[in-house]
Structure 1
Amino acid sequence: MTASCLLRRLLLAAVAWTLLPTTGVAADKKAKINYDEHILPIFREKCMACHNGDKQSGGLDLSTYSALMQGGASGDVVKAGDPDASRLYTLTAHTEEPKMPPRSPRIADESIATLKQWIVQGLLEKGNSKPIAIKPKADVTLSSITRGRPEGPPPMPTTKLRLDPVVVAPRPNAVIALAASPWAPLIAVGGQKQVLLYNTDTMQLVGVLPFQYGLPTVLRFSRNGSLLLAGGGRGGQSGKVVVWNVKTGETIIEVGNETDSVLAADISADQTLIALGGPNKMVRVYSTKDATLQYEMKKHTDWIYSVEFSPDGVLLATADRTGGLLVWEAANGREFYNLRGHTAGITDMSWRDDSNVLATTSEDSTVRLWEMENGSNFKTFGAHGGGSQGVKFSHDNRLVTNGRDRTPKIWDQNGGQQRAFEAVPDVGLRVAITHENAKLIATDWTGMVKVYNVADGKVLGTLSANPPTLAEQIALVTKDVAAKQVAFDAAQQAFTATEANLKKANDELAAAQANVTKTAAEAKAAADAVPGLKAKADQATAALTAAQMVLQARTAKLQSLQGVANQLKANADANKANAEFAKVAAEAKTAADQAQAEVAAAQKAVADADAAAKAMTAAYTAGVAKVTATQQAAQAAVQAVPPKQAAIKPAMDAVAPAKAKLDAAAADLNAVKANLDNLKAAPVAAK
């Protein structure tokens, strides 16, 4: 496909997008809204009964253009380019008091939209009038240029921006405008009548900036990242450049009143100048202080595709559809270099941070590097077969490119390819690299906006160039919150289980170790008790032997005494007349009876000693058995510890990944909850 075919497709897409319906804009976008043809009839019908040459309520006469521009008793009633600062519009639209017309319904929405569009377009008096220059809302010029990263936090939206798209198309279209903030995780994507801001860390939409002039064809962040510039318009009809404050989303500058769409634009590093170009082959440079034209360059002979100021603000490079490449002195527009080499349209360009090297890429498929000391082309390499569409320098002086071969690539500054990324579905268009040189973003004809990890080439996700309505976003994220909650609950349950398993393993190990101590103490106590039990058993056995000897002696004594007593009794019975025999016999019996009693006592002592000896012997035997049993128990307790110790590591190892999954699930859940809160708190777009 030739360069002219490419642009024709872009312009056809632009025209198609302008035909999509939008709310609050005059129906006839082709006609320039002017006072004589469009505004005066509305005034005649609704307003001039009270605001005419004869009756000027509030000192305001709307019957002529010059009278209207003089304002009323409270000052100007219209401000070019700013409906919200124009009391004529805000009172008629009933967004401020007193509502006009008084004591009457609001005038038709179409009339209000026409009035708004007239103000936006610059308050034209007639169809061939020039619009009034729209003065910037703030002075953004810098007293000096900061090289490298500015001090303080990187510029990110700090107020809640609109998240409801201006247009939701039936399908996405080619993304031809893309820019990455130089210092913040922020990417700007051109959409239909809007610019979409995404956080490249979270991949979430953080703002929608309406571009009411049509299709944005070029996006640029200022060198310090505080401003975002968009250029575009409607092919064959009009072109404009708009600059927003990144933190607030406020439109602060609008320049250009082109008769065709702006295809290229940039803001200088000191934020004093805005350059633009397009199909009219003219480079125009405006002041950001008062939006006035500073100078023009007319040397290009074909459509201007790319415009970029050098990072130091000294030079301005411009390129066109036939390969023309010019470098100018930014301060005054004097020609600095006319660089020749490309054989087809130059589709994109990028300055290295030190401003010493300019990279250009072309439909001739090459990337060329130009040094600014003498304007020489010191390196040329083939980038994309069939034609290259985008090129950007990173802060670490590498180059990222995109092209017709559908394969985004990253190169060192000597033209050595470092990585080719997964292909996009159709012809590759724009490319960008994030501020930390970590993510590459590439777009294509299908509307794909793909985000890659530079380090390993993996696809991190996609950004929508055609996001759904705010209500649909809320519904989708609400479902996502529910899904993420389920995942979080599962991760929480799994983590709780691993913690419980680890606690159980630790408790079992502690119990096993305590049992080792306990059984060891029991075994020692049992062993320590054995000598005592042995001594007692020996003592009891000795006592039994002694008792048995006493019994033996006493039994012998008893036997002797009983024999004597029996003999004496027989003698006494035989000699009854002899009283002494009877006496002696009685004494012998008494002695025998006493001996009998002693034998009985000795027998009891033997029985008691025998019982004690048996008991002590049994205690000793039990003590010995207990030593064996407790020693075995102690040994078993020691053997039970290693398995319990071995169970600790897998239980512990399971906790960390479960915790990581839980943390990731919590982060995902918190992120989607925060996104949902952000969506619910987003400003509702005016209807």
Structure 2
Amino acid sequence: MIRQRHILLLSSLCSLCLCGESFAKITYDDNVLPLLKEKCVGCHNQDKKRGGVVLNNFTKVMEGGSSGVIIKPGDPDNSPLFQSMAHKREPFMPPSSPVLPDATVATVRQWIADGALENSGSKAIAAGPKVNVGLPGVVRGKPAGAPPMPAKALSLEPIARTARADAVTALACSPWAPLAAVGGQKEVLLYNTDTLELIGVLPFPEGEARVLKFSRNGGLLLAGGGHSGKSGKVVLWSVTTGERIIEVGDENDSVLAADVSPDQTQVALGGPSKVVRVYGTKDGKLIYEIRKHTEWITALEYSPDGVLLTSGDRVGGLFVWEAFTGREYFSLRGHTAAITEVSWRSDGNVCASASEDGSVHLWEMENGNSIKSWAAHGGGAESVRYARDGRIVTAGRDRLVKLWDGAGNAQRSFEARPDVALCAAFTHDDARVIAGDWTGQIPVWTAADGKAVGQLTPNPPTLAERLDGAQKELAAKQAVRDQAAAVAAASVAASQKAAMDLAAAQKVAADAAANVKATADAAANAKAASDKATAAATTGQADVRAKTVLGQALAEASAKVKDASDKAKGDAALTIAANRVRELSAQMNAEQAQAQKTATDLTVVAQNATTALTQAQQTAANAVAAAAAAPKQVEALTVVAKAAAAKAAADQATTATAGLAFTQAAAIVEKWKTALAGKAPAQASK
């Protein structure tokens, strides 16, 4: 394993040192042949062809030996020559000898990886397809299993970041998955059409991607393009892995139109060369050419069953070909200006075409006649796409994207674009329409009502910009969270105080209700005591009056008896009577004095009882009033407490939401930090 890493490192150094524009290329003549002569040519030359392999002649090397080819340009790890030299497969080279030096093996590896150049003037041989993507047949309808989506995190670092977005000329949606592809400079962007988030960036170093197509089963993504006036190529990626698996074409100008056949055995391409070229996906070799067109090829698409291929050009030429032979099937005449796009209905019976003459034509495939045509866009129709349910979406120079039923009747126009609407497509479920315009905007609408749901961008931010934006968003989320927490804390404190006030009021109400009976009982007892004291005082006063009258009578009687005794001196009996009467009068006076004192005391007690009764009655009245007022206070404080509790709960929920948003923002910041630190793939978040 260490040696393999060493070889890979040396191979990378060879690439850096020898393959740049200012350095010599690694070639067979200059770099590889000298190494082969030293160790291998002795057994592999025109005279001694061990295994049928000749290594001292470039042509013979590329032909291979009795077991087949030994060089697969662009793919050293699957090239038998390199495998044998690296002792990764038998027979080992040289036989019965130690493995060749790492530098030698690395040079051969890099030579093959760079396209197996013969000499400094040679052009790299295109690598053949890495896998055979051809299907045993065409499967109509949705394939079995989960719709193809990227199964691993792809890089989100854009290849090209510009000051402003370029015009969106290439747009495609997967037929079965929430996936859209947007073409750009040296890259193809992948978006999730449900979340509208970027989920991958596929490098397209060939130049600008001018056409994008998904295979009919959604498993492959095709991009065609290049550098105008210089070069053109078509590339196919695996949607699930993001791996580039096929490259075909070697145009001298950018590819403008391309498609992959439904059985994935063919790739058709065209452009300024005016020639339709059809390649096989199995070996990447040209199958046939169509030279009928007199102008640039601007539109290509296979029929859903893969039997036919439609092509259009810059002067309105529109043809249908037999896909497997290239023989002309129909010449469709009706447009008077450039064909901008063609699209087949899902049943394969009708093909739609859009043109710079502003019209859209529907062509039946029984006789090749136009069964419907209408003026779709003033100034020119730039795009036409069928939905799976037969509806049609178009885009045009009138800045509009329009939705039509299958018969060409207008259903709606979406919001006008700032400039020319260049392309439009339905998402996998036909529920949304995505469009691209000259200003670089990519709006997304719901097809049912035409409402805007968001935007995609052909010019996404770099990872550094994403990190900066995420950090600013995190700071904003933190401020919101902290403010929400402060508000919630105040609300909770206010709620707690309101609850305490309510509890106190409820206790007061309960105490007041209990106090009504207690004070009423006390008032009743006070009244009984007052009544008793008053009665006693009244009785005492009556006793005083009686004793007063009796005392007065005894005093008068004593005076009369004394007077009689004084007159009858010597009358002992009368004297005794006078003394007795005098004693009785004195006794009565004493009793009257005592009764007066008792009556006075009882009167004071009665007065005090009356005062106590008045106080008890007032206390009872106050208790009744308090008991009547307490429920109203409880009711008012209950409203306050409920409102305070509701506000506290709402503020706490707001705080929780703000806290979750902060946590998510923090996770995004960490994700972009990690991605930026190692340029590692990072999956976009919701």
From the superposition, tell whether residues 631 and 481 of structure 1 become closer, same or farther in structure 2 (CA, over 3 Å).
same
State yes or no: 1:390 paired with 2:378: no
> Aligned-pair distance for 1:334?
4.0
Equivalent residues in 2 for 1:665-684, closer than 5 Å: 682-683=679-680
> Aligned-pair distance for 1:247?
1.3
> Aligned-pair distance for 1:264?
1.9
Contact 1:204–1:675, Cα closer than 8 Å, also in 2: no
State yes or no: 1:366 paired with 2:366: no
Q: Which residue of 2 aligns with 1:302?
A: 295
State yes or no: 1:210 paired with 2:203: yes
TM-score computed with the length of structure 2 as normaliser: 0.76
Q: Which residue of 2 aligns with 1:53?
A: 41
**Alpha-carbon separation, structure 2, partners of 1:636 and 1:238:** 88
AA in 2 matched with 1:271: Q
Secondary structure of 1:142's aligned partner: coil
Q: Which residue of 2 aligns with 1:232?
A: 225
Q: Which residue of 2 aligns with 1:12?
A: none
> Aligned-pair distance for 1:402?
2.8
Aligned residues: 638
**Alpha-carbon separation, structure 2, partners of 1:349 and 1:112:** 44
Contact 1:484–1:669, Cα closer than 8 Å, also in 2: no
- Which residue among 525, 540, 544 is the counterpart of 1:536? 525
Contact 1:407–1:421, Cα closer than 8 Å, also in 2: yes
- Which residue among 451, 462, 483 is the counterpart of 2:443? 451
**Alpha-carbon separation, structure 1, partners of 2:346 and 2:665:** 36
Contact 1:323–1:344, Cα closer than 8 Å, also in 2: yes
**Alpha-carbon separation, structure 2, partners of 1:61 and 1:329:** 42
Residues 286-308 of structure 1: CA distance to partner in whole angstroms, max 9, x if unpaired? 33333344444443333322111
Q: Which residue of 2 aligns with 1:431?
A: 424
Sequence identity of aligned pairs in percent?
A: 40
State yes or no: 1:418 paired with 2:406: no
Bigger Rg over Cα: 2
From the superposition, tell whether residues 115 and 128 of structure 1 become closer, same or farther in structure 2 (CA, over 3 Å).
closer
**Alpha-carbon separation, structure 2, partners of 1:668 and 1:125:** 55
- Which residue among 469, 477, 481 is the counterpart of 2:470? 481
> Aligned-pair distance for 1:222?
0.9
Computed over aligned residues only, the root mean square deviation of the Cα atoms, in angstroms, reads: 4.9
Task: Give unpaired runs (5+ residues) of structure 2.
Answer: 1-14, 45-50, 87-97
From the superposition, tell whether residues 678 and 314 of structure 1 become closer, same or farther in structure 2 (CA, over 3 Å).
farther
- Which residue among 460, 469, 481 is the counterpart of 1:492? 481
Secondary structure of 1:620's aligned partner: helix
**Alpha-carbon separation, structure 2, partners of 1:651 and 1:677:** 38
Equivalent residues in 2 for 1:453-472, closer than 5 Å: 453-454=445-446, 455-458=449-452, 460-465=454-459, 467=460
Residues 206-265 of structure 1: CA distance to partner in whole angstroms, max 9, x if unpaired? 323233444433211111211111223445554432211111111222333445443322
Secondary structure of 1:211's aligned partner: strand
Equivalent residues in 2 for 1:79-94, closer than 5 Å: 79-82=72-75, 85=78
**Alpha-carbon separation, structure 1, partners of 2:596 and 2:290:** 149
Contact 1:182–1:434, Cα closer than 8 Å, also in 2: yes
Q: Which residue of 2 aligns with 1:606?
A: 603
> Aligned-pair distance for 1:568?
5.6
> Aligned-pair distance for 1:346?
0.9
State yes or no: 1:356 paired with 2:349: yes
**Alpha-carbon separation, structure 2, partners of 1:374 and 1:526:** 105
**Alpha-carbon separation, structure 1, partners of 2:300 and 2:77:** 32
From the superposition, tell whether residues 423 and 158 of structure 1 become closer, same or farther in structure 2 (CA, over 3 Å).
same
State yes or no: 1:546 paired with 2:535: yes
**Alpha-carbon separation, structure 1, partners of 2:642 and 2:675:** 50
**Alpha-carbon separation, structure 2, partners of 1:189 and 1:631:** 76
**Alpha-carbon separation, structure 1, partners of 2:663 and 2:193:** 20
Contact 1:156–1:247, Cα closer than 8 Å, also in 2: yes
From the superposition, tell whether residues 498 and 336 of structure 1 become closer, same or farther in structure 2 (CA, over 3 Å).
farther
**Alpha-carbon separation, structure 1, partners of 2:180 and 2:351:** 22
**Alpha-carbon separation, structure 2, partners of 1:559 and 1:151:** 130
Contact 2:519–2:619, Cα closer than 8 Å, also in 1: no
Residues 514-567 of structure 1: CA distance to partner in whole angstroms, max 9, x if unpaired? 788667656655655675455334423322331122221332354356554797
**Alpha-carbon separation, structure 1, partners of 2:205 and 2:502:** 77
**Alpha-carbon separation, structure 2, partners of 1:24 and 1:581:** 166
Q: Which residue of 2 aligns with 1:13?
A: none
**Alpha-carbon separation, structure 1, partners of 2:480 and 2:220:** 42
Contact 1:141–1:288, Cα closer than 8 Å, also in 2: yes
Equivalent residues in 2 for 1:63-74, closer than 5 Å: 63-66=56-59, 68-69=61-62
> Aligned-pair distance for 1:82?
2.7
State yes or no: 1:324 paired with 2:321: no
Q: Which residue of 1 aligns with 2:545?
A: 556
AA in 2 matched with 1:53: V
**Alpha-carbon separation, structure 2, partners of 1:354 and 1:303:** 29
Q: Which residue of 1 aligns with 2:336?
A: 343
> Aligned-pair distance for 1:394?
2.6
Q: Which residue of 2 aligns with 1:141?
A: 134
Contact 2:424–2:435, Cα closer than 8 Å, also in 1: yes
AA in 2 matched with 1:544: A
Q: Which residue of 1 aligns with 2:615?
A: 618
**Alpha-carbon separation, structure 1, partners of 2:104 and 2:280:** 44
Contact 1:177–1:189, Cα closer than 8 Å, also in 2: yes
Task: Give unpaired runs (5+ residues) of structure 1.
Answer: 1-21
- Which residue among 279, 284, 305 is the counterpart of 1:286? 279
Q: Which residue of 1 aligns with 2:92?
A: none
AA in 1 matched with 2:610: A
Q: Which residue of 2 aligns with 1:8?
A: none
From the superposition, tell whether residues 547 and 252 of structure 1 become closer, same or farther in structure 2 (CA, over 3 Å).
same
